[in-house]
Structure 1
Amino acid sequence: MQEALNDLESGEILSREQAALLRRIYGRELFSVHWELRLLLYGGILILTTGLGLLVAKHFASIGHLTLLATIALGCAACFAYCLRHGGGFSRDGLPTPDAAYDYVLLLGCLLLGTLQGYLELRYQLLAQYWNWWLLVSALTYLLCAHYFDNRLVLSLALSTLGAWLGVKTSLLGAGLWDGTLRDNALFFGALVVAAGAVQTRLGWKRHFLPVHLHLGVNVLLAALVAGVAPRATGPAYLAGLLLAGSGSALYALRERSFAFLLYAVLYGYLGITIFVFNRGHWSSEGGILYFLVSAASLLTALVALHRRFRSAE
């Protein structure tokens, strides 16, 4: 590398300053802390909003309702005002981020908006037993903000909140964890999220949002299919659906060189097959231990080999 830099510098392809900078990077004197800073910002926003929520829940009587309402509302308005001032406005395509804080200020504004809605419901019981509709209002608001401000963090928040609304709405009808109704709704939601991302991409609308749709949608879809493998009546159909969806995820991973989707396919597939096999066979404790030792070792070896192939292809 040093010889190549010397040749480029002597050939006047690189200036002395450029070559010196590349030598420092190659010698690891300079390194990027971009993702570390983003993680710290994201963690700080979550801690701040969690602390605010706990403060509201514990001390709202002593602080005063109007004071809390005004403080949260002003903080939320300040965040959105900052984003409106510094953002580039709506566009069908991706927009460059104005500064490092922009995405996280918008995320903070959205979370403060959710805190404000929760406080209003806690204090004034505006929707009473229909409080779960606040989740739908929040999800649609976040979705609008994500598309207007071109923010994938808020898009993730919007889709997960929409899924939470669907889950809460189903549970209020008396559905248990992963029973038929909730499982079917999860299948519908996962497929809808994936389809929405595909349609958006097809129409040339926010193409860079597709990975967010796929990561969430594929995980929800595969998890719901795994949950349906255990019952003897529906198990074979759900296992077939799991293998089909997993194959689609693996094919997408190979086409787009995205190891995460291959990992989803393998792990969920392994979990589903294991549940199916153990629910329909009589296994001794020794046989079960042997199965997990052999299958887990084989799975780990295959994943390491596949990851190396993906790395080498890049």
Structure 2
Amino acid sequence: MKKFDSQLTQNLFDKGLITENQFDEVKTYRSLNIFSLNAELKLFLYLSVLLFTSGIGILIYENIDSIGHIAILSLLLIVIAVCFFYCVKYSKGFQKEETTFEHPVLEYLVLAGNILTCIFIGYLQFQYKPFGEHYGLATLVPTIVSFFCAYYFDNRSVLTIAITGLAAYVGLSVTPQTLLDNNDFYASQSLSYSAVMLGVLLILWTIYSQRISLKTHFGLIFLTFALHIISIASISNLTNYDILTWMVFGVILAGSTYYFYKASYDQKAMSLYVFMILYAYIGGNIFVFRIFENVDFSDFWEIFILLLPAYFVASIVIFIKLIKNFHKEISE
């Protein structure tokens, strides 16, 4: 790692992007072997928020009869008010460009307040049903609150909650594993098309935000969700017996692969590139299999078995080479 950093610094000096004095200062600083605990401390803060909000949920569940509904809701409301009071007090207000709090703890206070707001609204709906039987509103309201908090306080963690809530509102559970386990794309074509439309909506919003320079650093989050949603919905439908359905979703997956190939370079995002390749590889293999599924390969079965290990090895080698080339290109 040190050799890699030194080479990058040398490249900057060779290209004339830094002076000789700056080059010497960078080398001197790195020779001190100083390392940052910033990431580790933020991880502990994040875990603290999760443990605190989980503890609130467990407290409500185990003492719901003894404490009382009004007392629980009042306690939640007070904690939420305290969280947002300090966040608003020390925030810089809404700005189109990226902003940060002077103290990083406040970012996690926003996250805690937002999660507790979702718990409050969910508990209120479960116990008193202020939205009647319209349970979608109980999802939509905290989603709107989350989007507002994400943009006002410039918080990526809250933004992921907002996008997840939006997906839940249209009938999805936005986690790749739960998408496959809990959502029946095969039986419900409307759910599949809703997934694709949601992914396209996220892409269009990202493009629009880039044009008006509105929180452009949120783009990677929107695109990541869009990539997973569109790709998983498409791959799930490639196994459909209806030839028109799986061909349509094959075209959707191909278009998605092309777009996110371009987007990964624009965003210089390794994560987008890696998942794009994986989804394209899985979908491509299924698509080819569907095309030749009615062809009799009995005479070539032994050759196929012999070539299969070589195919997977070649796939791994090509995958590694693509990743290395991508990293090299975005680093230059």
Same fold (TM over 0.5): yes
Pair 1:177-2:184 in alignment: yes
2:94 counterpart (90, 93, 101): 90
1:59-78 map, 5 Å:
59-78=63-82
1:247 paired residue number: 258
Counterpart contact for 1:183–1:224, Cα < 8 Å: yes
Pair 1:48-2:64 in alignment: no
1:272 to partner: Cα distance: 1.2
1:276-295 map, 5 Å:
276-279=287-290, 281=293, 293-295=309-311
Structure 1 stretch 114-123 or stretch 103-112: which is displaced more?
114-123
2:220 paired residue number: 211
2:204 paired residue number: 195
State the alpha-carbon separation in 2 of the partners of residues 109 and 34 from structure 1: 22
- Name the SS for the 1:91 alignment partner: coil
State the alpha-carbon separation in 1 of the partners of residues 212 and 307 from structure 2: 47
Report the residue type matching 1:62 in the other structure: S
Counterpart contact for 1:56–1:119, Cα < 8 Å: no
Report the residue type matching 1:224 in the other structure: A
1:224 paired residue number: 233
Change (3 A) 1:176 1:159: closer
Q: How many residues align?
A: 296
Counterpart contact for 2:220–2:267, Cα < 8 Å: no
2:35 counterpart (31, 41, 55): 31
1:302 counterpart (318, 321, 326): 318
Identity among equivalent pairs (%): 25
Report the residue type matching 1:281 in the other structure: E
Q: Deviations over 1:196-249 (max 9, x none)?
A: 111011112222221111111122112211122111321122112211210111
2:169 counterpart (165, 169, 194): 165
1:156 counterpart (160, 177, 180): 160
Pair 1:264-2:275 in alignment: yes
TM-score normalised by the chain length of structure 2? 0.79
1:140 to partner: Cα distance: 0.8
State the alpha-carbon separation in 2 of the partners of residues 129 and 289 from structure 1: 56
**Residue segments in structure 2 that go unaligned for 5+ positions in a row:** 1-5, 11-18, 174-181
Q: Deviations over 1:146-189 (max 9, x none)?
A: 111122221121111110111169xxxxx961120110100010
Report the residue type matching 2:87 in the other structure: C
Cα RMSD over matched residues? 2.9
TM-score normalised by the chain length of structure 1? 0.84
Change (3 A) 1:176 1:158: closer
Counterpart contact for 1:143–1:158, Cα < 8 Å: yes
Q: Deviations over 1:83-111 (max 9, x none)?
A: 10110011122213321112111011000
1:54 to partner: Cα distance: 2.6
Counterpart contact for 1:194–1:218, Cα < 8 Å: no
1:172 paired residue number: none
State the alpha-carbon separation in 1 of the partners of residues 267 and 233 from structure 2: 24
Report the residue type matching 2:320 in the other structure: V
Report the residue type matching 1:188 in the other structure: M
Counterpart contact for 2:172–2:183, Cα < 8 Å: no
**Residue segments in structure 1 that go unaligned for 5+ positions in a row:** 5-10, 170-174
Structure 1 stretch 182-191 or stretch 261-270: which is displaced more?
261-270
- Name the SS for the 1:85 alignment partner: helix
Change (3 A) 1:94 1:256: closer
Structure 1 stretch 181-190 or stretch 39-48: which is displaced more?
39-48
1:290 to partner: Cα distance: 6.1
1:7 paired residue number: none
2:286 paired residue number: 275
